[in-house]
Structure 1
Amino acid sequence: MNGNFDRSFSTEDVLRRRASLLQKLHIDGWLLLILLTLAAASLFILYSASGKHWEMLTKQAGSFGLGLLAMFVIAQLEPRFMARWVPLAYIGGVGLLLAVELAGHTAMGATRWINLGGGIRFQPSEFMKIIMPATIAWYLSKRSLPPKLKHIVVTLLLIGIPFVLILLQPDLGTSLLVMASGAFVLFMAGLQWRWIIGAVGALGPICVGMWFFVLREYQQKRILTFLDPESDPLGSGWNIIQSKAAIGSGGVWGKGWLQGTQSHLDFLPESHTDFIIAVLGEEFGMVGICLLLIVYLLLIARGLVITAQAQTLFGKLLAGGLTMTFFVYVFVNIGMVSGLLPVVGVPLPFISYGGTSLVTLLSSFGILMSIHTHRKWIAQV
């Protein structure tokens, strides 16, 4: 009896000490476990989606390592310290977007990157996915809530400047995600329903205006293809048709790892980036996709728990904005690959190949960890 009790007590003591160590390192154990699971899944799927491309795999692993380091460093910073630097970060982010517009690197008809030399380049618009909700959370946390009309106007202006600059690159998908990240914070700040209903009512005229004056021809074609993919099966409809064929051919259990035909025979374009979930569906079937969705749901649920437990208004608004933006990120990618949404060029979080996106996502979860693990010591911002 005593021996069993001692062993049980010893096990509980070890678990308690491990939890205490993570707390001292400002790391949330559940978030870390889920993120490492997604990292392993990404490398596993990417190896097949890239056609066994080891160089691409090592680059992705390096990006994960860099992102985890950034996450760890950011988690050490107190939210009130980060709040002080938010305005400067916003100015710097807008400055980088202007630099892209003036002297950015052009590839595949879009100017979205800044070259650092030596083959290294990064996409400044990705950083705005963090900077935008942080800026709106910083601004609204210093005002009385629900926000008044003048505060809503300033918020929309803060959102609109990066939105337009990213749209001009052109990058419709990222611009919409950046806009959504700011809009979520505004909504969580207690935006009155009359403003929400008014915004929904204005969507019609706004969409018409964007169709005629903002969207480029290839973007209009993507929307028309979404409505009727068979209208141009060998052109703009090719991606969606092949994607749905890959997912459908996987059935319930899939064809098996490295056994996919749509990606390995080059029928499926961008199989290692935007359409990587089609590779997952073909090789691991509905079961594989459902398992990935469960991991995503656990990550989102943990983010919402951290949001609910945040002790400051700034932390609550920022954590909620980052979590809901991540949800939209997942929803838009899966929606466009399965034909439920137009193709807007949004990668699948943590699974698609891409260094800047990966580091940005992990940095955002570093902020969530900071908000959660510093909550006993921070004062109201």
Structure 2
Amino acid sequence: MTVPAPVRPRPTPPAPYRWPVRPASSAVRSASRSAARLARRVAGGVPDWGLAGAAGALCLVGVVLVWASTGPRLAAEGEDPRTYLRRQLLNVAVGAVVMVAFALADHGALRAWTPPLYALGCLGLLAVLTPLGRTVNGAQSWLGAGALQVQPSELVKPALVLILAMLLGEQPDGEHRPRGAQVLLALAVAAVPLGLVMLQPDLGTFTIIAAITFGMLVAAGVRWRWIGLLASAGAAAAVLAWVLGLLRPHQVHRLLTFADPLADPQGAGYNAAQALITVGSGGLSGRGLLRGDQTGGGFVPEQHTDFVFTVAGEELGFAGSALVLLLLWAVLARGLRVAARAASPYGTLAAAGIVCWFGVQTFVNVGMVVGLLPIVGVPLPLVSYGGSSVVACLAAVGVLMSVRGQDVRRL
């Protein structure tokens, strides 16, 4: 008897996919949420116009002051009075491109750029100590020739801020402050540019980099015993540098004449004395642009760089000087707001480091002009002449804009 073969059931074809039908109200709510999220993301890419406006205004004021401090002197020498004006405009244009590039970068891109930027800055600091470096005003801190010169110590400032934010802003789970190993690594990273700058020697830049490091450690919540230890070490290092004679003679003379600049008005106290005379001669409203006797006569050395604030004091008066300080305060206030609202410890520390940098450098520059601090030679952020300084400062402004947009972009 033949057994019939079993009949296999035919496979059932899959049912055609049907898109789920949502109620009209649910679809509308979902679309509105998506549109709102997209709008917030787009808003995150829009620059902080308050910060950008204050920084741009400072750059424009700086261009005018540089022109006022150099134009009459060049004209008297039979040269083109707009030479430094064109150079500073070019510096601002290059800095604006760099600022936009940093502003459009997210945290991932900033972290990827940081180690190469830090390494490049340290290599530049090493290069200036070789025969490739140029000595200006007693410090071997420049690279290049002619009008094309670069100061690596300025470019290392934003790189140091970013790398310290990386090292101090990545706490392990459950930790709210950096561990001892992180602090030691951050100090080792900061010690490299500090040591190289001191070898130039550039006391002003050393002070700013040390202030950036100290301020970021405080902002990171490092234990106070570390802060006390660092403060003691800094004081001991200053005494040791004085005892061992690590400072150049002109730097020692500037520190000694700080108490009474008029004691040696034709020697070590000349810069301080002329700066006080120039600032005080402007009165309330100033003598008028390009009408300053001190500025036109070239009595203040390096007036377009470290002493550019004296031009505002003489030709724009107290009102113009106050405007410059108000714009600088606006940049610092926006930076503090960015730090307070940052979406991550990395962003908070990066913004805090930039605020420390700009705040201390402004205080030192204006303080040495008006006789509150010794003359150490630092530019006024975003105002003084110099491609390296302007580009570095505008790059820092771009970092602030990038950090400002992170809390929106994460949505």
TM-score normalized by the length of structure 2:
0.83
User: Residue 134 of structure 2 corresponds to which residue in structure 1?
Assistant: 106
Question: Superposed, which structure 2 residues align to 1:48-59 within 5 Å?
Answer: 48-52=68-72, 53-59=81-87
Partner SS state of residue 168, structure 2 = helix
| Alpha-carbon separation, structure 2, partners of 1:20 and 1:51 | 47
Gaps of 5+ in 1: 1-18
Q: Which residue of the partner structure matches residue 251 of structure 1?
A: 283
The alignment of Structure 1 onto Structure 2 pairs a total of residues equal to 360
Q: How many angstroms apart in 2 are the aligned matches of 1:243 and 1:361?
A: 24
Amino acid at match of 2:116: L
Q: Which residue of 2 aligns with 1:159?
A: 190
Q: Which moved more, 1:278-287 or 1:19-28?
A: 19-28
Cα distance in 1, alignment partners of residues 156 and 139 from structure 2:
18
Tell me the distance in 2 between the aligned counterparts of 1:181 and 1:207: 17
> Which secondary structure does the structure 2 equivalent of 1:264 belong to?
helix
1:185 aligns with 2:213: no
Q: Which moved more, 1:331-340 or 1:171-180?
A: 171-180
Distance 1:22 1:244, change over 3 A: farther
Between the aligned partners of 2:177 and 2:241, the Cα distance in structure 1 is: 30
Q: CA deviation at 1:362?
A: 0.4
Instruction: Go from structure 1 to structure 2 and tell me whether the alpha carbon gap of 1:44 and 1:119 turns closer, same or farther (over 3 Å shift).
Output: closer
Alignment identity in percent? Answer: 36
1:47-196 maps to which residues of 2 (within 5 A)? Answer: 47-52=67-72, 53-108=81-136, 109-115=138-144, 119-143=147-171, 144-196=175-227
CA distance in 2 between counterparts of 1:185 and 1:201 reads 17
Matched, 1:303 2:335: yes
Q: RMSD value over aligned CA atoms?
A: 2.1
Match of 2:242 in 1: 211
More helix by share: 1
CA contact (8 A) 1:225 1:231 kept: yes
Secondary structure of 1:374's partner?
helix
What is the Cα deviation at residue 319 of structure 1? 0.9
Task: Kindly state the Cα deviation for residue 340 of structure 1 after the two structures are TM-superposed.
Answer: 0.8
Cα distance per residue 1:95-135 (max 9 Å; x no partner): 221122224331334321222x6752211111111011111
Q: Does the alignment pair 1:228 with 2:248?
A: no
- TM-score norm. by structure 1 comes to 0.89
C-alpha separation between the residues in 2 aligned to 1:305 and 1:364?
15
Q: Which runs of 4 or more aligned residues in structure 1 lie more than 6 Å from their structure 2 counterparts after TM superposition? A: 19-22
Q: Secondary structure at the match of 1:90?
A: helix
Relative to structure 1, the CA distance from residue 102 to residue 26 in structure 2 (aligned partners, 3 Å threshold; closer, same or farther) is farther
The alpha carbon displacement at 1:203 in A equals: 4.3
CA distance in 2, matches of 1:294, 1:145: 35
Q: Over residues 181-200 of structure 1, what are the superposed CA-to-partner deviations in whole Å (9 max), with x where a residue is unaligned?
A: 22211110002223323433
Q: Is the 8 A contact 2:167 2:185 kept in 1?
A: no
Per the alignment, residue 282 of structure 1 pairs with 314
The farther-off stretch of 106-115 and 53-62 is 106-115
8 Å Cα contact 2:282/2:313 also seen in 1:
yes
Within the alignment, does 1:31 sit opposite 2:51 as a pair?
yes
Q: Which amino acid aligns with 1:365?
A: V
Which residue of 2 is the match for residue 266 of structure 1?
Answer: 298
Q: State the distance in 2 between where 1:339 and 1:289 align.
A: 15
